[in-house]
Amino acid sequence: MTASTTASAPPAGKSALLSVEDALARVLDDVRVLGPEQVALAQAPGRTLAHDLAAALTNPPFDASAMDGYAVRAEDLSGNTPTLRVVGESAAGWPYAGSVRPGEAVRIFTGAALPDGADTIVIQENTLADPESVRILEAPRKGANVRWRGSDFHEGEAVLTAGTRLIPRHVLLAASAGHAMLAVVRKPVVAILSTGDELVEPSDRPMAGQIVASNAYGLAAMIEAAGGEPRSIGIARDDAEDLAHKFQEAAGADILVTTGGASVGDHDLVRPSLEAWGASLNFYKIAMRPGKPVFFGTRGSTRLLGLPGNPLSMMIAARIFLVPLLARLLGRTDKLAPVPAKLTVALPANGPRTHYMRARLDTSAHEPLVAPLGGQDSAFVRALVEANCLAIIPANAPALPAGSTIDVLALDF
Ligand code: AMP
Ligand code: MG
């Protein structure tokens, strides 16, 4: 039993924030898979297959030898070390034109077509040969060392299913099945807008009170890894006019992600500015730690996701909400869900917000073990690199003794 099933319901009351699960359900509600486009195989890795893929070819395309040796008729092998007449040769790409008759053998090499009449390959190590004849020292069973036509797959058979995120072995299979182009789901275009008067590009050196705008870079990398197409539209100042101006550049994007300015401070203008731009917002506060000021909404066909300014909160919230949204838009069928692991230390009772703790997962033991790391300040980014997973402590979880099973999310970003 994981801790999430033992957690009690959040107390009803004035500050009932939206739970992560409910918020994610709203983000994913009514999301339809984007349309397909054709790409060459070389462009296919990382893309998501739009339709089931039927083989255009049969593999192996012909009965072929799996070994170097002699193609024979099994019925000729019954005697004691029988000797067969070698009538020709079949090499890869150079099939033997004739057929193998009783008492005959054809010299054959790996990948060569099995000649008509033959049904078995005797490996050369089990023969004694001279140019005209071959003596069989050890007879294999009938059919040995032959790869039969179609024993891998047949033309017309579905070899890959829609929603498959293509990794190298899928690309290999698609090529073997005779496809030079694949129909993949169009990449969701994600506009990224950083906001904040204090932000400067990493190529600049911050002056007093300034800080490097790192969010857009981490976010773009995450979006790309998740199969989307990031499009940075730069930094907006904490100014309604500048924000409105920058929003224009998100036109046509499937998603606009903003970072920063999402709280309720005097300079947090992103939400009101989006509303002034015609956005309708669905929620804006989530019971999660870090990352409470997350909002979600839509404007026309563009989905809007407001992420916290703190880099670490931003990355975690992006992993929790944006990555599944991209997966849904792509129709991906692979699982992004957390996995269970055993706590190596005790944890105190949790408050009303799901806590995503940077942690280290150890999978070398007979069961996965997880140890939360110290220093969970949401502005510290180095800690995110030292961690390899997020330990998920459910909202209102009771104190958890060492050995409790909790869910963890691999930090694959
Ligand atoms: P905010 O949500 O705008 O109040 O920002 C919260 C914190 O995150 C502040 O310390 C900001 O300076 C910082 N921050 C905001 N945007 C970025 C960014 N793009 N890159 C790095 N830090 C940021
Ligand atoms: Mg700000």
Chain segment 53-67, per-residue pLDDT in tens: 999 999 999 999 999
Supply the pLDDT for residue 15. 52
Please check whether residue 339 is in contact with residue 411, taking contact to mean a CB–CB distance below 8 angstroms.
Answer: no
Assessment of whether the complete model's pTM goes beyond 0.85: yes
Supply the pLDDT for residue 8. 42
- pLDDT tops 80 at residue 254: yes
Closest listed ligand to the CA of 308: 1
Residue 12 pLDDT grade (very low, low, confident, very high; cuts 50, 70, 90): very low
- pLDDT tops 50 at residue 4: no
**Residue the block writes with tokens 């129909």:** 183
Please check whether residue 121 is in contact with residue 70, taking contact to mean a CB–CB distance below 8 angstroms.
Answer: yes
Supply the pLDDT for residue 384. 86
Cβ 263 under 6 angstroms from ligand 1:
yes
The separation between the first and the last C-alpha atoms of the chain, rounded to the nearest angstrom, is 28
**Residue the block writes with tokens 């998920």:** 392
Bridging pattern class, strands 405-410 and 339-343: antiparallel
Please check whether residue 203 is in contact with residue 232, taking contact to mean a CB–CB distance below 8 angstroms.
Answer: no
Cβ 198 under 6 angstroms from ligand 1:
yes
Whole-number average pLDDT of the chain: 94
Q: Point out the ligand 1 atom lying closest to the alpha carbon of residue 214.
A: 20
Supply the pLDDT for residue 7. 41
25-34, 165-174, 382-391, range with the lowest pLDDT: 382-391
Vertex 397, ends 393 and 398: CA angle to 5°? 130
- Select from 368, 385, 398, 265 the least CA-distant residue to 315: 385
Q: What is the whole-number distance in angstroms between the Cα of residue 94 and the centre of ligand 2?
A: 71
Cβ 291 under 6 angstroms from ligand 1:
no
Structure tokens at 70: 């002699």
- Give the pLDDT confidence of 365-409 residue by residue, as tens digits: 999 999 999 876 777 888 888 999 999 999 999 999 999 999 999
Residue 46 pLDDT grade (very low, low, confident, very high; cuts 50, 70, 90): very high
